[in-house]
């Protein structure tokens, strides 16, 4: 099926109200393009420490939407233009031009799968559900991951740095806490390495669902782990639920600036002698994290590197 694509030029100030208007007219799935800088809250929920450079905000926004080929586009566009004309009387909507084009029907939900294939992290085979384990790999540790809306397939250098540190310090008695658990891969691997129990927290509801799904497909029962939504940095209820001085390992693969805020809080969750594993740190932020770790009273044990990324491992004495 072919779809008709429309790109409406408006202002950043009006993008929300125009999107709402389109939804009221039955137009769903509006895509917004603008140059508005990310807020601090936006950045805190991202999992990379270096962001692409963007141009300065020029006040222009583009709203793209799609209509089926057999839809009554003439009537819909007439209604859209009429609404825009009425709205323009009380606010600046900008140019309000609408470009039209045609696009093929694409399975956007699954099309990305062509770019994700099985790979190794040392001797661990990480494989998506749509691929088969080769006979020569059947004796390896195999982890099935369906990458989707939650971060953490094991492919990124920061995740691999954490995996190696977890493996180095885990024991059969290990209680591990994964802050910003994403897909659940770090807690899952800790359990595969022999840990006793895993707890994961995340701000994103999609991460909670992804963790449950990935744990299940890898044969890990629900009594071996717990996962919860919330911000452990400033939410006392989450801190209480997670528990105090009960973790042998805490791992956090998140932004360096978030690690600075997290570290003085998370020492309360660590047992004495517990190991704190951090990553998600671009190389020029290494000293910032090391300083935060030391300031929190932790002893830096090791700093490891992969590409331009850094992992800092410390201990609570």
209 is in an annotated binding site: no
Do residues 233 and 201 make contact, with C-beta atoms less than 8 angstroms apart?
Answer: no
Element spanning 119, H or E: strand 119-121
123 is in an annotated binding site: no
180 is in an annotated binding site: yes
**Count of all residues that appear for the chain in the document:** 317
CB-count burial class (<10 Å; 0-12, 13-18, 19+) for 312: buried
Q: Phi, psi at residue 86, to the nearest 5°?
A: -70, -40
159 is in an annotated binding site: yes
Encode burial over 193-230: b for 16+ CB neighbours within 10 A, e otherwise: bebebbbbbbbbeebbebbebbbeebebeeeebbbbee
Interatomic CA distance for residues 237 and 298, integer angstroms: 25
Interatomic CA distance for residues 125 and 122, integer angstroms: 8
Sequence ranges of the binding site: 159, 180, 202, 253
Question: Which residues sit in the known binding site for S-adenosyl-L-methionine?
Answer: 159, 180, 202, 253
């Amino acid at each position: 099926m072919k779809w008709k694509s429309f790109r409406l030029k408006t202002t950043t100030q009006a993008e929300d109200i125009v999107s709402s208007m389109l939804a009221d007219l039955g137009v769903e799935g509006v895509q917004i393009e603008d140059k508005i800088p990310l807020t601090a809250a936006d950045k805190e929920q991202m999992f990379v420490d270096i962001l692409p450079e963007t141009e300065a905000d020029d006040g222009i926004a583009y709203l793209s939407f799609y209509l089926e080929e057999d839809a009554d586009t003439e009537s819909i566009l007439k209604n859209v233009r009429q609404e825009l004309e009425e709205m323009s009387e009380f606010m600046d909507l900008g140019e309000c031009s609408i470009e039209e084009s045609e696009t093929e029907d694409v399975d956007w939900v699954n099309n990305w799968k062509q770019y994700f294939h099985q790979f190794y992290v040392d001797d661990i085979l990480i494989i998506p559900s749509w691929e088969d384990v080769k006979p020569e790999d059947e004796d390896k540790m195999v982890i099935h991951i369906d990458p989707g809306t939650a971060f953490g397939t094991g492919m990124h250098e920061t995740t691999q740095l954490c995996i190696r540190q977890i493996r180095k310090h885990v024991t059969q008695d290990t209680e591990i806490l994964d802050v910003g658990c994403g897909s659940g891969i770090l807690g899952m691997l800790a359990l595969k390495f022999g840990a006793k129990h895993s707890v994961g927290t995340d701000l994103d509801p999609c991460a909670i669902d992804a963790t449950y799904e990935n744990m299940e497909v890898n044969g890990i029962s629900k009594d071996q782990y717990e996962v919860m939504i919330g911000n452990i940095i400033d939410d006392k209820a989450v801190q209480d639920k997670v528990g105090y001085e009960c973790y042998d390992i805490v791992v956090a693969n998140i932004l360096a600036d978030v690690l600075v805020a997290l570290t003085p809080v998370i020492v309360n969750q660590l047992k004495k002698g517990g190991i704190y594993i951090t990553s998600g740190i671009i190389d020029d932020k290494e000293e910032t994290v090391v300083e935060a770790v030391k300031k929190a009273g932790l002893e830096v044990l090791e700093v490891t590197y992969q590409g331009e990324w850094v992992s800092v491992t410390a201990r609570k004495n």
